[in-house]
Structure 1
């Protein structure tokens, strides 16, 4: 089965849906508002926001409210920049994800979404039109030189496929870990280089002169891809799966052949790929940490390992469940798996919460 069928997040608005379990992603997005505003101001000052109609895209939008928050934030920011202009711009805002994404729920949400300033469905009255755009962002999505502003958050660590040649070489691991053989590490890094280079080439063909692209990528601080800051969470999931194998609940061969198609790069890797591909020049790079259990609604409460363990497990489940069910089949009991995983994560956070953070790289590129 192709990854298009297995990578989409959990649909709908139920208790395991991505829409209700993407608080971490929301925190990442909110931490970049000032940086996005600065990018838009730079575009304005250089004449990049002088057209009458702007084409903008959220690449990897998923199906929850996060993408709609971004739409309204960008529209309001541009309207503020142009408030002294004589004309009113119009916007085409494209919501892009794989064809199997739950676009129906996303556009139902549009009708009821309010970001505290304006209901999204009312933006059409001021010239904003929102469209669905199914397709892989590792392919062309727009005609040449028509895209003004591209944005992607929490998506570009996903690969287009599991690196070729892994088979069962990674054994009880499901991602890169300290015990992964060198050929596994190299295969992941090479796949990421190919994918990001393709992504950049596609966007380079699509963007207008003076266009900008903002990427927020989950990555790592250190050059060593086996560093625990990125591998720990998936290593704990692998240990949970192994526990179920030992208890006869899953097949060992299924675990040995399971590898997650993600790669979390360091800044230097991304820099090298950008410069080598050549379509864009880097204007700004900012790196910041975000805790695994980041959640605006509970961050002010005292730490509770059970609550934090469930927050992390529910977030991971929201995007991993389709992949797990596709690979392990009917034997996969996700309720049981993520109950066990939540307990394991909670215990880890109770001992090392200060170190349990993702590293987020914010990149601002100019065509």
Structure 2
């Protein structure tokens, strides 16, 4: 659409079926520029509270915008990373490894201390109960009601392949490549010159190499979950305030 889904992206009452897979884990902004960890479930104190509050506001904003775009009787399907009631997603060991790698790169002088301090992921894994909080009063939020919701374990295909072929090198390479493609571009927005392609490529290579070293020492699956929700729009909705 060429713009954020934290804005209107389609005309009112236009959509019969909406689908969002994992995108809504990304926040509209960083609520604090500096945190004590790159990943929210591993943060503490004020930074953790700020991200959680931003996560709540962004989720309600996302739902209200999509509700306005749905036709009466329309459906919105949302797939998100799962989180336990304490907010943990199963990615914490991998994120701890990545956090340590960035600290090592700063100690080596590959990145500056200031760049390291500002590297944080603008993602938030919401427990299912938090996703449903907006519907607690009368089962409705901005003309939407919950038709279906579930949380289930997500199979780890990389680990399953390792159990079959025993190729540990291939396994850690796949994990590291996944992390590099999914999260490193966001982390490297904190670089002093984020558009400098050569330095970014060299740093990405170094990060991936160091992450593989840590994964080789740990050798365990990613025990993650997935949450799936279906929202329906009322035929005769109340106005959303």
Q: Give me the TM-score of the superposition, normalised by structure 1.
A: 0.56
Q: Which runs of 5+ in 1 are unaligned?
A: 1-132
Structure 1 contact 175–260 (Cα < 8 Å) conserved: yes
Structure 1 contact 157–263 (Cα < 8 Å) conserved: yes
Residue 275 of structure 1: CA displacement? 4.2
Q: Which of the residues 139, 149, 153 maps onto 2:7?
A: 139
Q: Which of the residues 255, 260, 266 maps onto 2:116?
A: 255
Which residue does 1:360 correspond to in 2? 226
Structure 2 contact 158–171 (Cα < 8 Å) conserved: no
Residue 347 of structure 1: CA displacement? 3.0
Structure 2 contact 75–231 (Cα < 8 Å) conserved: yes
User: Does the C-alpha gap of structure 1 residues 325 and 144 become closer, same or farther in structure 2, counting only changes over 3 Å?
Assistant: same
Structure 2 contact 159–171 (Cα < 8 Å) conserved: no
Which residue does 1:204 correspond to in 2? 67
Which residue does 2:22 correspond to in 1? 154
Equivalent residue pairs, number:
223
Which residue does 2:239 correspond to in 1? none
Which residue does 1:6 correspond to in 2? none
User: Does the C-alpha gap of structure 1 residues 229 and 254 become closer, same or farther in structure 2, counting only changes over 3 Å?
Assistant: same
Which residue does 1:313 correspond to in 2? 176
**1:20-60 C-alpha deviation (Å, 9 max, x unpaired):** xxxxxxxxxxxxxxxxxxxxxxxxxxxxxxxxxxxxxxxxx
**1:180-223 C-alpha deviation (Å, 9 max, x unpaired):** 332111111111111111111111111111101111101312x2
User: Does the C-alpha gap of structure 1 residues 203 and 346 become closer, same or farther in structure 2, counting only changes over 3 Å?
Assistant: same
Which residue does 1:347 correspond to in 2? 217
Q: Tell me whether 1:174 sits opposite 2:38 in the alignment.
A: yes
Which aligned runs of 4 or more in structure 1 are off by greater than 6 angstroms?
Answer: none
Residue 288 of structure 1: CA displacement? 1.6
Q: Secondary structure at the match of 2:154?
A: strand
CA distance in 2, matches of 1:239, 1:184: 19
Alignment of 1:35-114 (within 5 A): none
Residue 167 of structure 1: CA displacement? 3.5
Residue 321 of structure 1: CA displacement? 3.4
Alignment of 1:209-220 (within 5 A): 209-220=72-83
Q: Give me the TM-score of the superposition, normalised by structure 2.
A: 0.83
CA distance in 1, matches of 2:52, 2:225: 18
Structure 1 contact 275–281 (Cα < 8 Å) conserved: no
CA distance in 1, matches of 2:83, 2:62: 20
Q: Which runs of 5+ in 2 are unaligned?
A: 234-241
CA distance in 2, matches of 1:157, 1:203: 15
Structure 1 contact 285–363 (Cα < 8 Å) conserved: yes
Residue 282 of structure 1: CA displacement? 0.9
